[in-house]
Amino acid sequence: MWKKTLPALFILSPFAFATPATMPPTESTTADVELQPLALKQQWLNEQQTLLLQRENFLQLENLINTAIKQKMVSEPLIKLASQLISEEYPLQEETQWLLLRAKLAMVTPENLATRVQEIQTFSKQYPNTAKRNKLAQLPISLYAEHQKREELLQYAGNTPAEGLKNQCLVFESKYQQFNAEHTESFKYEQKKLLQEFDLFWQNTHTTLPPECDSLTQEWLKQGFLNVEKIKNKAVIHFQHNQTLADIPSSDENVQQWLTELEFLRTNANSLQTFAENQALDPWNQAIITKAFTSFVKSQPEEINQDHWAIYQTWAEKFQLSADDIRQWKIAFLSRAFDNDNVAFQQWRDAQLAELKADNLLERRLRMAIWQKTDLKPWLALLSQEAQNKQEWQYWIAKTSPEKATRLTKLSQERGFYPMLAANALGKPYQFDFPKAPMLNENQLIAFRSQLARVAELRALQRFDRAKLAWQDLLQSVSFTEKLALTHYAQQQNWFDLSVEGTIIAKAWDYIDLRLPNAYSEWFDLNLKNKKINKSFAMAIARQESAWNFQAKSHANALGLMQMLPTTAKQTAKNNGLPFSGEQDLLQPFRNIMLGTTHLAELNEKYPNNRILIAAAYNAGSHRVERWLARANGKLAMDEFIASIPFFETRGYVQNVLAYDYYYQMLQGLQPLQMFTKAEQQRY
């Protein structure tokens, strides 16, 4: 820690120990200079000791308040005691003040309510990001309602409009109770206006209203505002947002039956045929049929063909769908039936693709043409200009063009996987220049010192999610150049995940050295000894998998830097005599790298020196790679095999990993740079 932190003191305090440049060194000044490192070290030690004490006090304060809130034992003496633990020099001032505010909000009374609202507003002004995330501006509405401060609630809502159904209902309810308390003609008129306003609110919300609206809803029903048209409009909105229709009131038996059938369709997409055949044409059924078709067609087997479309066409005609709606239906239908191997269907499909000119379907057809080794030109010509401008299709346009060399040369001057592939096709080295990020200057270091100290302290407390939020807040408030300089600073601090996050926020795609930090370099070296896996490749996998967030968790429960599934990690450990105690191991960078690189080595045994197949297997599983190889049957070149990987995620994954590998080779100063191995350039 000393080696890392001492230079930072020189950066943060450049003038504290400076000697005028015009003064010749004397014996006295030379001795002073020699003493400076010792003074700096002592200063650093003192600062660390102070920080540790402040941290302990913060943790005590946090535990005290959280326990009191949980046990509903917050009191003024407790808040006073907690306040004495606060140091104004501690980096987590925002977190400290948020804790105190939460404690105060746990003991709101009618007598102190106005004070609490003022405290909310003061905190929100000082810490707007935390206030926004916790929707503090909306809290006074519920507090006023809880303490039956109707006039104050309406006055507050007049300046801060209610958001969310609950608060909107509280405002409606307060207005209703206010009018209900009066019996003059003017108030009756205002009450009617309120019910009309509520009527529009009810019709346009796409979910069930909360209990706070119950009394006004009953009055609205009593006054006869509800009718069949409004019920059906409401039902369509609920259906379009996939919200239950069970709570929509109706006393009409026919309408209730329609609602029941609609709710069944919402939860059973494959019942659309019954609904379409039994329902009459009206605007509501037209909207329902239009919306439901995409989910319906996804529920059908992939073997559906043009005969099925003929049935769907009759539905479209019955319900008088627009030409654009029919087009969207046909795109959804073709997406589902695309791979049907019936020859007649394929001919019909291709004719429809040429007519529809939908880029997503044309790109899929192009991949099919690539692995089938058929002519690409007709399909490339049908792509929109936007799609044609993608690097991938620029590559394939070049390969099918009489001006192949010229087009490939132009493409090879860009950054990315396909420019690298273009250079490889030309038999030339792939080179591109990338800009260097600026460093924080002395004034910026001073200006951002408190925010950076906050991020550092949150990370020291292992509050990584909070640190990321603080980092995002900081970067979103500064200029592009400052974003780059701060991202460079993060990399210097070994905040590798925040470095990557910084480039994403800044959209600094050309700053390769910031996007690809040299993270955990020594641990990769150690774990790759005696393994036939290059460091640049292993790091590229980790960068693609987690963006260097060692706490990353996927929806499939892949964990850590190299996003290993616990089952894969357990088997890898067992096969190679390595320790594995469970999921928590994968959230430790060293353990994750150990198991991830070992798994890569296992895949290398299966696919020697072929990062394309290794990366594809790491992402999608070896069983799928074997299936794709069987389909290719030794007929595809390297670029054709990659382009024809059917999974969008895996295809992009392989391309990114190979590009990142090359970038890491550049950044690590490796020579000669290798785009593709001999094994990778074989037939597939």
What token pair was written down for 186?
């003017």
Instruction: Round to the nearest angstrom and report the end-to-end CA distance of the chain.
Output: 50
What token pair was written down for 615?
């990366």
On the 0-12 / 13-18 / 19+ scale of CB atoms within 10 A, 217 is buried
On the 0-12 / 13-18 / 19+ scale of CB atoms within 10 A, 541 is buried
**Alpha-carbon span 128 to 120, nearest angstrom:** 11
What token pair was written down for 126?
């000082």
Does 283 sit behind a cis peptide bond, omega within 30 degrees of 0 on the bond before it? no
Q: In this structure, is the dihedral angle defined by the CA atoms of residues 104, 108, 111 and 115, taken in order, positive or negative?
A: positive
Of 212, 482, 545, 680, the active-site residue reads 545
**Alpha-carbon span 49 to 278, nearest angstrom:** 78
On the 0-12 / 13-18 / 19+ scale of CB atoms within 10 A, 247 is exposed
Phi, psi (rounded to 5 degrees) for 553: -135, 130
Residue (of 372, 373, 416) closest to 394 by Cα position: 416
> DSSP string of 387-434?
HHTSHHHHHHHHHTSTTHHHHHHHHTTSSSHHHHHHHHHHT-------
Residue (of 85, 92, 81, 84) closest to 57 by Cα position: 85
**Alpha-carbon span 120 to 126, nearest angstrom:** 10
| 3-state DSSP assignment of residue 110 | coil
Taking 3-state DSSP, the helix, strand and coil percentages for the chain, each rounded to the nearest 5, stand at 70, 0, 30
CA atoms within 13 A on the CB side of 608: 1
Q: Exposure pattern of 504-533 as b/e (b: 16+ CB <10 Å)?
A: ebbebeebbbbbbbbbbeebbeebbeeeeb
| 3-state DSSP assignment of residue 364 | helix
Q: Does 545 qualify as catalytic in the annotation?
A: yes
> DSSP string of 317-362?
HHTT--HHHHHHHHHHHHHHHTT---HHHHHHHHHHHHHH--HHHH
Residue (of 560, 548, 563) closest to 495 by Cα position: 548
What token pair was written down for 423?
């250079």
**Alpha-carbon span 104 to 68, nearest angstrom:** 11
Residue (of 514, 512, 532, 534) closest to 524 by Cα position: 534
Q: 97, 123 in Cβ contact below 8 A? A: yes
What token pair was written down for 601?
């080595």
**Alpha-carbon span 554 to 268, nearest angstrom:** 29
> DSSP string of 557-581?
--BTTTTB-HHHHHHHHHHHT----
Residue (of 401, 403, 394) closest to 422 by Cα position: 394
On the 0-12 / 13-18 / 19+ scale of CB atoms within 10 A, 140 is buried
Q: Kindly list the catalytic residues.
A: 545
